[in-house]
């Protein structure tokens, strides 16, 4: 039975979903390809219910102490009908549609009083447990605000001016810039948690849903270029996660942004997570973020 449990030491919620199917799925029975009963063959981009959802609105009530009902929503954004496509090389208008559908659905889910945060993200690579090769991203609606988003919320509400707006001046004229497109900037953070971590931010808004179509298009184009740059630098098919950090319901101030975190690297660039990272939560970097940004900028120049 799925449930949400409270860690007594950190006071953070952990989702326990023991029955999720992690077996690799072959293209012959891919549930996101044309021929699957769930797929509309006339729509390149569409949203489906996750059959192996960690959270569902029908989750049974939980009575044990320090546990709660696994209430929520888990949905899949099928990004293309082409099984072998990839988000970073989709036509721009199609990649924008992935975001517009996901953002519209996120807004709908937030109308549920029990939902406190909606997380839109994409995983690529079996190293991240991706069992279906078909290009897709995910929407998960949570009955709590996850710890990293809650931490960001506190910072945005404590400091004025906005910490992301304030640092942008240094990024644009500094060595950590990866790409600038109109009002949207991709950069390596000043103190990243991962080598080649990239953040993307546009004008100050609490949610990406508040951007007009032109600005959203700039965000998506910069995201695609950044992902392609990672493949250039790290040797192709880089496993990564990109996630949208939008304002939770309870936020008084927030600056929406995207975070890309590559997870595995070729042997010449590998950075394992060990005792400091996993045990203490403190990252040790073996090269300066400015060096990583220089490699990524050069990769984007080759792509463009």
Whole-number pLDDT of residue 134: 93
CA distance 218 to 221: 5
Please report, for the chain, how many H helices and E strands are present, in that order: 5, 12
Whole-number pLDDT of residue 44: 97
State how many domains the chain has. Answer: 1
Whole-number pLDDT of residue 112: 98
Whole-number pLDDT of residue 84: 93
Whole-number pLDDT of residue 172: 82
25 token code pair: 């799925």
Class of residue 163 by CB neighbours under 10 A (exposed 0-12, middle 13-18, buried 19+): middle
248 token code pair: 């939770």
Which among 299, 298, 269, 274 is positioned nearest to 286, based on CA atoms? Answer: 269
**Nearest 5°: CA angle at 204, between 76 and 192?**
70
Whole-number pLDDT of residue 277: 79
Class of residue 64 by CB neighbours under 10 A (exposed 0-12, middle 13-18, buried 19+): exposed
Q: Is the N-terminal amide bond of 161 cis, ω within 30° of 0? A: yes
Q: Which domain holds residue 159?
A: 3-303
H/E element, 49: strand 46-49
pTM, full prediction: 0.94
- Whole-angstrom CA distances from 162 to 29, 173, 253 are 48, 19, 8
Which CATH number characterizes residue 100's domain?
Answer: 3.30.428.10
104 token code pair: 């519209």
Whole-number pLDDT of residue 286: 81
DSSP string, 104-122: HHHHHHTTSTT--EEEEEE
214 three-state secondary structure: helix
- Whole-angstrom CA distances from 67 to 19, 52, 56, 64, 281 are 18, 21, 16, 6, 25
CA distance 302 to 290: 19
Whole-number pLDDT of residue 238: 86
CA distance 33 to 85: 12
Which among 18, 34, 150 is positioned nearest to 83, based on CA atoms? Answer: 34
- Whole-angstrom CA distances from 184 to 71, 100, 181 are 35, 17, 5
Whole-number pLDDT of residue 75: 97
Whole-number pLDDT of residue 125: 82
Whole-number pLDDT of residue 29: 80
Q: 137 and 77 in contact (C-beta within 8 Å)? A: yes
Task: Print pLDDT tens along the chain (304 aa).
Answer: 899 999 999 999 999 998 665 555 555 689 999 999 999 999 999 999 998 899 999 999 998 999 999 999 999 999 999 999 999 999 999 999 999 999 999 999 999 999 999 999 999 986 666 778 899 999 999 999 999 999 999 999 999 999 999 988 889 878 999 999 999 999 999 999 988 999 999 999 999 999 999 999 999 999 999 999 999 998 878 889 999 999 999 899 999 999 999 875 555 555 556 788 778 888 888 889 999 999 999 999 999 8
Task: State pLDDT tens for residues 136-188.
Answer: 999 999 999 999 999 999 999 999 999 999 988 889 878 999 999 999 999 99
Backbone angles phi, psi at 244, to 5 degrees: -90, 125
């Amino acid at each position: 039975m799925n449930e949400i449990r409270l860690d007594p030491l950190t006071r953070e919620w952990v989702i326990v979903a023991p029955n999720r199917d992690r077996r690799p799925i072959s293209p012959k029975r891919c549930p996101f390809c044309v021929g699957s009963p769930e797929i509309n063959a006339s729509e390149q981009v569409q949203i489906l219910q996750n059959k192996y959802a960690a959270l569902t609105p029908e989750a049974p009530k939980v009575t044990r102490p320090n546990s709660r009902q696994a209430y929520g929503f888990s949905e899949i954004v099928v990004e293309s009908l082409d099984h072998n496509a990839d988000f970073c090389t989709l036509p721009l208008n199609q990649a924008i549609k992935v975001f517009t559908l996901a953002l519209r659905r996120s807004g709908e889910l937030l109308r549920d009083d029990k939902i406190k945060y909606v997380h839109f993200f994409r995983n690529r690579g079996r190293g991240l447990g991706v069992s279906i090769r078909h290009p897709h991203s995910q929407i998960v609606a949570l009955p709590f605000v996850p710890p990293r988003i809650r931490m960001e919320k506190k910072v945005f509400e404590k400091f004025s001016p906005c910490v992301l707006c304030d640092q942008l001046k240094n990024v644009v004229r500094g060595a950590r810039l990866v790409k600038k497109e109109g009002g949207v900037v991709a950069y390596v953070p000043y103190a990243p948690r991962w080598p080649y971590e990239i953040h993307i931010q546009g004008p100050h808004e609490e949610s990406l849903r508040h951007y007009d179509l032109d600005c959203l298009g700039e965000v998506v184009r910069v995201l695609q270029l950044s992902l392609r740059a990672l493949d250039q630098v790290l040797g192709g098919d880089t496993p990564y996660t990109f996630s949208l950090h939008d304002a939770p319901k309870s936020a008084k101030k927030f600056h929406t942004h995207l975070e890309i975190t590559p997870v595995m690297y070729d042997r010449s660039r590998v950075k394992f997570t060990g005792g400091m990272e996993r045990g203490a939560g403190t990252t040790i970097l073996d090269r300066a973020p400015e060096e990583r940004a220089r490699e990524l900028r050069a990769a984007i120049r080759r792509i463009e």
